[in-house]
Amino acid sequence: MTEIPQELTRFLASASRVVALTGAGASQESGLRTFRDAQTGLWAQYKPEDLASPEAFTRDPKLVWDWYAWRREAIKGARPNPGHYALVEIEKRIPNFTLITQNVDGLHRFAGSQNVLELHGNIQKVRCSECGTFTETWGDDSESVPVCERCGGLLRPDVVWFGEPLPRSELEAAVTASRACQVFFSIGTSGAVQPAAALAHAARNNGSVVVEINAEPTPLTPIVDFALHGKSGEILPGLVRAVWGG
Ligand code: OAD
């Protein structure tokens, strides 16, 4: 079990402004593959970057739609893990807590987190690729990509694809919170994708204590104040116990 440094425990006990950035590693113990794990089964021959882009959708909308349908199916059976619930606890204890996630699986909200910024969207939401209208239901014709009832455009998942801008209000809120926090957690992310990866640096440049909780070292590790390497589903509950007991 990863030891929680006493200095970090003391700091968190008195902190009022905390930010946590999560990536796919935070959902790994819920049974969801991380983004850069080798894809399983039918999708093994594709790189996710070749599926999660506007160009891929233009080239072969059915392939991209089916990949997200497969991922939605995988998420259906997933439940929040102890790491998600520990972040709900932390949100209850810290007056000003912001949870920023790169994950599109919706598990933070499912666990009960309130103040969640979904930087890369949410796979459960579907919108028209032409007029942007959101829709809750769509045909399940396995032969073709469902179309928008309003304009006939192809439907797509409401997630950020490579080369697309992040939702402006979420990104601005994430940057503002990262610049103002006393403690910044980077949890279960390889720090491979911008602008999310820059948030830890923004926090550090403003004097925040930066804590990495990740299964393995990342490019961020050399600049963090505390590097806790292990499973977030174990470390986060341990941190809650160390700081707040229970
Ligand atoms: P990655 O797959 O790049 O990184 C996941 C990180 O989690 C890795 O460093 C793993 O070592 C770590 N990890 C795995 N299991 C863990 C566990 N149980 N506890 C703690 N850490 C664990 O996924 P992300 O960093 O989230 O963007 O990828 C960021 C973005 O890249 C994704 O949001 C996606 C992708 O392009 C878009 O789709 C726009």
For the chain, domains (ranges, CATH) are: 6-32+79-120+165-244 (3.40.50.1220), 41-77+129-159 (3.30.1600.10)
* Ranges under pLDDT 50 in the chain: none
Q: Which of 190, 228, 235 most suits a substitution to test ligand 1, by most atoms within 8 Å of the C-beta?
A: 190
Helix (H) or strand (E) holding 125: strand 121-128
| Distance from Cα 68 to the centre of ligand 1, integer Å | 17
Q: What is the pLDDT of residue 42?
A: 55
**198, burial (CB in 10 Å: exposed 0-12, middle 13-18, buried 19+):** middle
Cα–Cα distance, 15 to 181 (Å, whole number): 9
Which H or E run includes 66? helix 61-76
If you count them, how many residues does the chain have?
246
Instruction: Kindly report each contact of residues 56-64 with a partner whose C-beta sits within 8 Å and lies 24 or more positions away, as own/partner.
Output: 56/161, 57/129, 57/154, 57/156, 57/161, 61/145, 61/154, 61/156, 62/144, 62/145, 64/156
Q: What is the DSSP string of 150-206?
A: TT-PBEEEEEPPTTSPPPHHHHHHHHHHHHH-SEEEEES----STTGGGHHHHHHHT
- In the reported structure, the alpha carbon of residue 188 is separated from the centroid of ligand 1 by a whole-number distance in angstroms of 6
201 in catalytic set? no
Give residue 37's pLDDT. Answer: 63
Distance from C-alpha of 196 to C-alpha of 244, rounded to nearest angstrom: 29
Residue among 84, 108, 120, 201 flagged as catalytic = 120
DSSP state, residue 149: T
Atom of ligand 1 nearest to the CA of 48: 36
Task: Spell out which residues line ligand 1, taking CB within 6 angstroms.
Answer: 23-25, 28-29, 34-36, 52, 102, 120, 160, 188-190, 192-193, 214-216, 218, 231-233
Nearest CA to ligand 1 atom 6: 189
**Element at 22 (helix H, strand E):** strand 17-22
Q: Answer for the pair 212, 190: CB distance below 8 angstroms, yes or no.
A: no
CB 89 within 8 A of CB 83: no
Q: From the CA of 130, how far away is ligand 1's center (Å)? A: 30
CA of 120 to the centre of ligand 1 (A): 13
Task: Identify the residue whose tokens are 């104040």.
Answer: 225
